[in-house]
Amino acid sequence: MTASRSSFPSEDVPFPPTRPLPEAVALHWKDWLRFAVVPVAARILHRLGVNWSTLGERIGRETMLGQARSIRRPPPAGAHPPLRIVFATMMSGHPHTASADAILAMALSARGHDVRMVVCDQQLPLCEVKSNASEAHWARSCARCYGFGRRLFTAAKLATFRVSELLESEPPVREARWDNYAESALMKHYKAGFLSDTPEVHARRDAFRGAAAVSAATGRAILAMQPDRVLLTHGLYATWGPLRTVLAEAGIAVICYDKARKRYTEQFTWKHSSDTWDVSSEWERVKGKPLTVEQAAKLDAYLASRRTHSADTMVYNKTPEAAADATRAQLGLDASRHTAVVFTNVIWDGASVQREIVFPTPLQWVAETVEWYRRHPDRQLVVRIHPAELVIGTAQPFADLLRARVPDMPSNVRVIEPHEPVNSWSLLNIADMGIVHTTTVGMELALEGTPCIIVSSSTYRGKGFTIDASTPQEYFALLENPPTPDKAVTVEMARRFTYLLFERFQLPFPYLFETRHGDVRAWTFDDVEELFRRGSMQLICEAIERRDEFFLPA
């Protein structure tokens, strides 16, 4: 189903929802067969002694449809007071988000709350399910997404509402204020930070604006349910951003959550989208408290694992860390010259787009920094292109954009592309100063005691261990006279903040079996009561009920 400009009316004109086709027609026969056969086979094989994880790995994620029916559920407890909780799932076919939604919903239902799941039944004109260059599969992907989610939540005995039902009383209305969400979704769709002015781009931008209108209308319809809490994953892009904003503006307690950095952890936040990693309120409470011996040891163990990503969900650095002399020799750097290292982000990623403060775009920031170093040949600059470009992909490699902007790279500037065998921690060993956009390397520089300039809005900006530039004039003045903050203070404050962010904000969520990042195939529990005996489920549910912050105890 390819979107076109004629598919949607002009601004501020309501349009009726697109009614989904009967499932027998919309769902591809192969998907229908898997949805029908795999859950039954999984339940039979499980009764014969095969564990759910093995089944998921061998016969697919549809194993969860059978497992959900087999989960033992206690009689609902008497919650005081019982809350009306809505999950705005929207993309209910994603194995991670759907699984997390279902598990949290079952836990909250077990505590006596009225839980309702809102499922998108093919109402979004364009969303994350419909990836670029796979247009021929859009209709099938969309039908499969809805079909999987509806079956999973039904199997888990959760009340499910379709978006099309909600839109009957709340027809979508386009509003210009949702354009930022549509634009960030468009960049993610194309995996590009700069988009050509083509008819296709126009049509898909229009489609994402339509999706944003559907999202906002769904939020208004959820308001009619009079929810006490609303949970949703991410909370950004056209799929969730307008919905979240509508609810938050109406005073509804909204919780966004997402997969965190450590394996088998989740992060939760009130009001803000999950990519903000907003821990400001708790930071104000604990920033003056030194870490205990036990906390310091725990942090050191995790930081050691970060250098190889052995405890993380994704691996970006696949080359061993090298000593400073070896790294300088490899890159052709002069040990006698002041060395600054710029660390870029993936240009389209939601964790970095629309976060600019000093420069209009990340490309302009790096290009102007390169030109500044051209005029200062007594110093040297290393530009580290984020290795995640190889992991999550990009249609616009940052190095290509930079070469087009600066074709004659100065001799005192070394650009490291993602495929080059250089570990980012090797660069920390040679950096006299770091310069970052939003990447967490800014924290890691501070942990080494290295001055770090931030040019954009990041989680750790203004936390007392970075140098935060606000204007181009201020930025270039910092390059001219490199800052020399107190190293001991920088390291101490960075350690306190990193402990809060990585050891308390990332909540253990050991309930999902994944074969790779995001590919959940089964659940690791057989009884809902088991959820409360391990992991953080008790803490999560109590925080939802009491409107507390989501942190492990200090």
Quick one: which of 438, 16, 24 has its CA closest to 217? 16
**pLDDT reported for residue 288:** 97
pLDDT of residue 357: 96
User: What is the structure's pLDDT at 2?
Assistant: 31
pLDDT of residue 518: 85
- Give pLDDT tens digits for 482-507: 999 999 999 999 999 999 999 999 99
Find out if CATH 3.30.465.10 is the number for domain 289-504.
no
To the nearest whole number, what is the mean pLDDT of the chain? 92
Q: What per-residue confidence (pLDDT) applies to 18?
A: 39
pLDDT above 70 covers what percent of the chain?
Answer: 95
Residue boundaries of the structural domains of the chain: 5-277+510-546, 289-504
* Angle (CA) 45 48 52, round 5°: 50
Determine the Cα–Cα distance for residues 166 and 219; give it in Å rounded to an integer: 9
d(CA 506, CA 306): 15
**232: DSSP letter:** E
Average of pLDDT values for 233-258?
A: 95
Q: Could you read off the pLDDT of 150-178 as tens digits, one per residue?
A: 999 999 999 999 999 999 999 999 999 99
Per-residue pLDDT at 554 exceeds 90: no
Q: What is the pLDDT of residues 330-352, one digit of tens each?
A: 999 999 999 999 999 999 988 78
pLDDT value for 19: 42
Closest CA to 439 of 503, 360, 344: 344
Q: Name the amino acid, one letter, at 153.
A: F
Q: Would you state the pLDDT for residue 338? A: 97
Over 70: is that where the pLDDT of 23 sits?
no
Q: b vs e for 151-175, b when ≥16 Cβ sit within 10 Å of the residue's Cβ?
A: bbbbbbebebbbbbebbeebbbebe
How many angstroms separate the CA atoms of 120 and 249, rounded? 22
Residue type, 364: Q
Q: What is the pLDDT of residue 24?
A: 36
Q: Kindly indicate the confidence band of residue 17, based on its pLDDT and cuts at 50, 70 and 90.
A: very low
Residue 551 pLDDT exceeds 90 = yes
Instruction: Work out whether strand 114-119 and strand 159-162 pair parallel, antiparallel, or are unpaired.
Output: parallel
Number of helices (H), then strands (E), in the chain: 22, 15
pLDDT at 22 over 80: no
pLDDT reported for residue 226: 96
Mean local confidence (pLDDT), 91-117: 95
Dump the DSSP string for 444-510. Answer: HHHHTT--EEE-B--TTTTSSSSEE--SHHHHHHHHHS-----HHHHHHHHHHHHIIIIIISSEE-T
